[in-house]
Structure 1
């Protein structure tokens, strides 16, 4: 009787090892650091570069389901003052229009793909507390390349291309 149980347990262990992937969730395809390589806006059929011809930006997804995204246009001029809070109205306007930073939590589905996120902090206060699902925002990963697409409330479509940082 002990031999039967031992063989049954061994068979179960072999099946688990050989087919373990069938029982486990797929890995989170978002985890890692991503670098922005392209960002475009399209409104009423007119396309433009969102952060200039060579945008700067990083998007980091952690295994703990948190994210941080910072996007900047390197063409934004430096402030005359070396003190962050002492920019002129024009300097502050240019900095705000040429950058965004935000962070929060995200979820993935059973395939390890983006399911949604909630913004917990942002340089654009209106986004704090916002929750987006795949209906609002798509993040499609193909190996080390990711495409991000969403639409702003004014109808502008945003398309960002990312590459995984190695």
Structure 2
């Protein structure tokens, strides 16, 4: 099911991880940047990265040094695929088709959702010792496609 409230582009406001002991962490810093898009055809994509990541020495990403690649990988996550909204359980399921983290390809990522004013709040239950919460602000609304 597609929910028209999801459709559009959203900008990351905050990404926090709550630990089992109640402490809060910002995995990519308090100034992380990101964007998530949902379209009316059931497609979605998301990218999140650390702000102000260091530049690499080479202009060719395939010629980057291993330490540069490791730092870049640890400061960026992206995936895309299909999505389904389950309004009765307040869940959205991201069906991952491609990802910067290869282990997620073919998996479903389940998020609880809540709309508050112009914000979309996505959260997880505890995954191991971590509970994720991402706050997004709508920046673009896309019209529903014609059937």
Q: Same fold (TM over 0.5)?
A: yes
Partners in 1 of 2:79 and 2:44 — Cα distance?
8
Aligned Cα root-mean-square deviation (Å): 2.2
Deviates more, 1:84-93 or 1:95-104: 84-93
User: Is the 8 Å Cα contact of residues 28 and 108 (structure 1) preserved in structure 2?
Assistant: no
Q: How far off its partner does 1:123 sit?
A: 0.4
Question: What secondary structure, in the 3-state scheme, does the structure 2 residue paired with 1:165 have?
Answer: strand
Structure showing greater radius of gyration is: 1
- Find the counterpart in structure 2 of residue 88 from structure 1: 65
Question: What secondary structure, in the 3-state scheme, does the structure 1 residue paired with 2:57 have?
Answer: coil
Unaligned segments of structure 1, at least 5 residues: 1-24
Q: Give CA-to-partner distance per residue, 1:95-147, whole Å, 9 cap, x none.
A: 11111010000112467x654221000000000000134xxx21212231011
The number of residues matched between the two structures is 138
Q: Give CA-to-partner distance per residue, 1:60-101, whole Å, 9 cap, x none.
A: 000001001000101321111111112222111111111101
TM-score normalised per structure 1: 0.74
- Find the counterpart in structure 2 of residue 59 from structure 1: 36
- Find the counterpart in structure 2 of residue 139 from structure 1: 113
Task: Name the structure where helix makes up a greater proportion of residues.
Answer: 1
- Find the counterpart in structure 2 of residue 127 from structure 1: 104
Task: Name the structure where strand makes up a greater proportion of residues.
Answer: 2
- Find the counterpart in structure 2 of residue 160 from structure 1: 134
TM-score normalised per structure 2: 0.83
Matches within 5 A, 1:18-29: 27-29=3-5
Partners in 2 of 1:67 and 1:146 — Cα distance?
14
